[in-house]
C-alpha cells in the first residue's frame, strides 16, 4: 500500500525531482530546509516545509535527529534521502526505522556492507566480481600507505574509503607526491564523510567509467536497467553522462549487468542502486556501489521508460517488481550534462552570487531540465554549485548530441561564472562524436583547447558591446537636437574642427581591447590598432543586432553586475567597460597578499611567519562548496603576516597572508 505523506531529507534539484513524482502519485510532500534555503524552489514546491537549522550541513541537512523529529511531528510516514547528505548513512537508516518510519532506500546492513570501499571490495571478491589490484587494509598510517602504493606500482589512486563524488581522491604519479597527497585525501575524507580512511588502487591508464543501474525488491527479484557511461569527468566529478554506454559489445554489457545483479544479491540489497565499473581493454573491474539514487539517473529513465523514484517508493512499500529482465529493453539514447556555477578557466573554482538570468527551453518531450533554481536565486557557498541537469533523448546518439546542443544553445544564464560554454564545446567537439575516444582523461587532454577556443564571431560581439556602451554614454548626456545626423546629437567626444571619436576600453572574456568608435548616423566606424571598418548596431527585445558588409548576426543579451553578456551559437561573451580612473582607484586601495578565492572555511594553514616558501608550495587549505581548495604560492617569497587560522570562516577576497 502506497504511503500518503513523504518527507524529502534533501534540497535543490533532486528534492524538486522527487516532489514531482510523489505529487503525481498523490503523495503529499514535506520539505526541510536550512535558513539559507528559506526561499528555495524545493521549499515552494512541497506541500509543507520546515526549517531545521543554519546553513552549514552539520547544523541542518546532516542532523538526522531533527529530520526524524520533523517527520514524526508532521505525520510523514517515510523519508526519502535522495543522494548526498544522509543517503548512505546506515545509522540514520536504523534510526528512521526505529522511529517507525519507512526509509526509501536499502537496509542499514546493505549500506554498511558497501559503505566502506575496502570492505565492499572484499565482499565483491568473495562474490566473484572482478577487482582492480589495490590495498584495502585497516592500517592507515602514512608509512604503510606509502609502502603499499610503491608495492602496487605508480601511478596509483588514493580514495577515501567512505567517499563519493570525487572527494578524498588523489592521483599520484611520483613517489615524492605521496605524503602530501595522503594528508590531503585524509583531510578531505574526514571533512566530507567524518572518516579519514583511505584505500590505494592501481591507476588504470585511459579507462572508461561505466555503471549499471539495478532495481531490487524485498522479495528476491533483481534486474539491471542497462548501463551508463560517465567517463567525462573533471576532478573526479562527472560532467557528462549517457545511456546506454556507447561502443560496448553485447557480451560485455550482459556480463556487467549480471555482475551488478550478483553484487546486489550478495548483500541482500533492495531498492535502487548503482554498481560502478572501470572498463579497459574489453575488461571490467568493480569500483564501488552507490546504495542510493544517482545524480545521472534521468538518462536511464529516458531510455527505459521507468520512473526510478516511483519504483523506489513502491519497493519501499513492499511491492514486487512487475517485470523481468527478459522484458526490459533500451530505447534510443540519452545524454545528461551538469550545469555548474563554476569557472572552468580557473580550475573550475565554484562561483557564488545571484543568478540574475536563468532561462531555458523545455518545449519538447525529449528535453528535460532538472533544477532547484529560478532567476533571482542566490547560489550560496554552503552547498554543491550545480545549477541544473540538462538531459535530452534521441532515437540514436547522433540525434541526441544534436538535440543537446540545440537545448544548450537556447539557454541563458548570467550573474555569476558558469560552465555553459564549456559544456557546449565538449558536446560540439568532433572527438565527442567518436565513442572510441571516450575515457576518463577526455576532458584533461582537451582542457586548454576548450578554454582557448575562439568563436569566428568574436570581433562582431566585441563591436556590438562597444556600440552598446557608446550609445549608453550618448544617452547619459542631454540631447538637444532631433536630427540624428546633427553634431549636437552627439555631445560626447564632439568638438569643433576635430574628429567626433570616442575611445573605449573594453574587457571581453578577460581580454582587454582599446577601440576608437565614431557614430555616423545609424552606422559606426571603428578602429582597433591596425584594423578598421564599418557596421550598424541596434537593440531589439533582448537582442543586439550587428551587421556589416558581409554578415548580419543576432546576439542574445543579458545584463548583470559584471556587465553585458552576449551569446550566439553556443558561445558566451562577458563584456564590461573598463574605466581607467576607477581601475586605478581600486588598485591603489587593494591590499597585497593572498586572498580567499571565495567564501569558505580554513581547514589548514601550512606555513609560519618568517618562513621562506617557493613557487608552487601550498600555503593555506580551505573548504568551500563541499570541495577542498589549496592556495598556492605564485612565486618565491617570505611570509610576513598570517591573518587566519584553522576553522576560521573567510569571505571572498579576504586577505589570508602576505
- Which sequence positions are flagged as catalytic? 292
Type and span of the H or E element at 19: helix 12-24
Kind of pairing between the strands at 222-234 and 134-135: unpaired
- Cα dist from 367 to 192, 201, 293, whole Å: 33, 39, 21
Give me the DSSP letters along 88-105: T-HHHHHHHHHTT-EESS
Determine the distance from the C-alpha atom of residue 361 to the mean position of all C-alpha atoms in its chain, rounded to a whole number: 20
What is the Rg, in whole angstroms, of the alpha carbon atoms belonging to the chain?
A: 27
Strand partners, 343: 349
Going by C-alpha positions, the residue among 631, 627, 625 that lies closest to residue 654 is 631
Going by C-alpha positions, the residue among 54, 39, 47 that lies closest to residue 7 is 47
Q: Residue 378, exposed/middle/buried by CB under 10 A (0-12, 13-18, 19+)?
A: middle
Collapsed DSSP state (helix, strand, coil) of residue 474: helix
Question: CA 105, CA 59: separation in Å to the nearest integer?
Answer: 23
Question: CA 407, CA 369: separation in Å to the nearest integer?
Answer: 10
**SS3 sequence of 153-212:** CCCEEEEECCCCCCCCEEEECCHHHHHHHHHHHHHHHHHHHCCCCEEEEECCCCCEEEEE
Question: CA 73, CA 75: separation in Å to the nearest integer?
Answer: 6
Collapsed DSSP state (helix, strand, coil) of residue 655: strand
Within 483-613, strands assigned E span 502-508, 511-520, 523-528, 531-539, 543-547, 552-560, 563-568, 571-577, 594-595, 600-605, 612-613
C-alpha triplet 95, 63, 296: angle, nearest 5°: 90
332 phi, psi to nearest 5 deg: 70, -155
Going by C-alpha positions, the residue among 199, 142, 10, 206 that lies closest to residue 89 is 10
Collapsed DSSP state (helix, strand, coil) of residue 236: coil
Q: Residue 17, exposed/middle/buried by CB under 10 A (0-12, 13-18, 19+)?
A: buried
* Distance spanning both ends of the chain, measured CA to CA: 64
**SS3 sequence of 301-316:** HHHHCCCHHHHHHHHH
H helices of 453-498, in order, are 458-475
Amino acid at each position: 500500500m502506497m504511503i500518503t505523506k513523504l518527507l524529502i531529507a534533501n534540497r535543490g534539484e533532486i528534492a524538486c525531482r522527487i516532489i514531482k513524482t510523489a505529487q503525481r502519485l498523490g503523495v503529499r510532500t514535506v520539505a526541510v530546509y536550512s535558513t539559507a534555503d528559506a526561499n528555495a524552489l524545493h521549499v515552494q514546491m512541497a506541500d509543507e516545509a520546515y526549517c531545521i537549522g543554519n546553513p552549514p550541513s552539520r547544523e541542518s541537512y546532516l542532523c538526522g535527529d531533527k529530520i526524524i523529529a520533523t517527520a514524526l511531528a508532521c505525520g510523514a510516514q517515510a523519508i526519502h534521502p535522495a543522494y548526498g547528505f544522509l543517503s548512505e548513512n546506515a545509522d540514520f537508516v536504523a534510526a528512521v526505522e526505529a522511529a517507525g518510519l519507512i526509509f526509501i532506500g536499502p537496509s542499514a546492513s546493505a549500506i554498511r556492507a558497501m559503505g566502506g570501499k575496502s570492505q565492499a571490495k572484499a565482499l565483491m571478491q568473495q562474490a566473484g566480481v572482478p577487482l582492480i589490484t589495490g590495498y584495502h587494509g585497516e592500517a592507515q598510517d602514512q608509512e604503510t600507505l606509502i609502502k603499499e602504493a610503491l608495492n602496487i606500482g605508480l601511478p596509483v589512486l588514493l580514495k577515501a574509503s567512505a567517499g563519493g563524488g570525487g572527494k578524498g581522491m588523489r592521483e599520484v604519479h611520483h613517489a615524492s607526491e605521496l605524503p602530501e597527497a595522503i594528508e590531503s585525501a585524509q583531510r578531505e575524507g574526514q571533512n566530507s564523510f567524518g572518516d579519514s580512511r583511505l584505500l590505494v588502487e592501481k591507476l588504470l591508464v585511459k579507462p572508461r567509467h561505466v555503471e549499471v543501474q539495478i532495481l531490487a525488491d524485498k522479495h528476491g527479484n533483481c534486474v539491471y536497467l542497462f548501463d551508463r557511461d560517465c567517463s567525462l569527468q573533471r576532478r573526479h566529478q562527472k560532467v557528462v553522462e549517457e545511456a546506454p554506454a556507447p561502443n560496448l559489445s553485447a557480451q560485455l554489457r550482459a556480463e556487467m549487468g549480471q555482475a551488478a545483479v550478483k553484487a546486489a544479491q550478495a548483500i541482500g540489497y533492495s531498492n535502487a542502486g548503482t554498481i560502478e565499473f572501470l572498463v579497459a581493454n574489453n575488461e571490467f573491474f568493480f569500483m564501488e556501489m552507490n546504495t542510493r539514487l544517482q545524480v545521472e539517473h534521468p538518462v536511464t529513465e529516458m531510455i527505459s521508460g521507468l520512473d526510478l523514484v516511483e519504483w523506489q517508493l513502491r519497493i519501499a512499500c513492499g511491492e514486487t517488481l512487475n517485470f523481468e529482465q527478459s522484458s526490459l529493453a533500451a530505447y534510443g539514447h540519452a545524454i545528461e550534462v551538469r550545469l555548474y556555477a563554476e569557472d572552468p578557466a580557473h580550475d573550475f573554482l565554484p562561483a557564488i552570487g545571484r543568478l540574475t538570468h536563468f532561462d531555458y527551453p523545455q518545449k519538447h518531450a525529449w528535453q528535460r531540465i532538472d533544477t532547484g533554481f529560478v532567476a533571482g536565486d542566490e547560489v550560496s557557498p554552503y552547498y554543491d554549485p550545480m545549477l541544473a541537469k540538462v538531459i535530452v533523448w534521441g532515437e540514436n546518439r547522433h540525434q541526441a548530441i544534436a538535440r543537446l546542443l540545440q537545448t544548450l544553445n537556447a539557454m541563458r544564464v548570467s550573474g555569476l561564472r558558469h560552465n555553459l560554454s564549456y559544456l557546449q564545446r565538449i558536446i560540439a567537439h568532433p572527438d565527442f562524436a567518436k565513442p572510441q575516444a571516450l575515457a576518463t582523461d577526455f576532458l584533461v587532454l582537451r582542457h586548454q583547447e576548450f578554454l582557448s577556443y575562439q568563436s569566428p564571431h568574436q570581433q562582431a560581439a566585441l563591436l556590438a558591446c562597444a556600440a552598446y556602451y557608446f550609445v549608453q554614454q550618448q544617452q547619459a548626456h542631454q540631447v538637444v537636437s532631433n536630427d540624428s545626423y546633427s553634431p549636437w546629437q552627439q555631445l560626447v567626444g564632439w568638438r569643433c574642427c576635430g574628429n567626433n571619436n570616442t575611445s573605449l576600453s573594453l574587457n571581453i572574456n578577460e581580454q582587454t581591447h582599446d577601440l576608437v568608435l565614431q557614430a555616423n548616423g545609424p552606422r559606426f566606424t571603428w578602429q582597433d590598432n591596425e584594423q578598421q571598418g564599418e557596421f550598424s548596431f541596434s537593440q531589439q527585445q533582448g537582442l543586439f543586432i550587428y551587421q556589416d558588409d558581409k554578415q548580419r548576426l543576432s546576439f542574445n543579451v543579458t545584463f548583470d553586475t559584471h556587465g553585458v553578456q552576449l551569446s550566439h551559437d553556443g558561445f558566451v561573451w562577458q563584456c564590461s567597460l573598463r574605466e581607467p580612473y576607477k581601475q586605478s582607484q581600486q588598485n591603489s586601495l587593494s591590499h597585497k597578499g593572498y586572498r580567499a578565492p571565495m567564501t569558505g572555511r580554513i581547514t589548514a594553514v601550512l606555513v609560519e611567519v618568517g618562513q621562506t616558501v617557493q613557487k608552487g608550495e601550498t600555503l593555506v587549505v580551505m573548504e568551500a562548496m563541499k570541495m577542498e581548495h589549496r592556495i598556492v604560492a605564485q612565486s618565491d617569497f617570505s611570509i610576513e603576516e598570517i591573518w587566519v587560522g584553522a576553522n576560521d570562516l573567510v569571505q571572498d577576497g579576504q586577505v589570508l597572508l602576505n
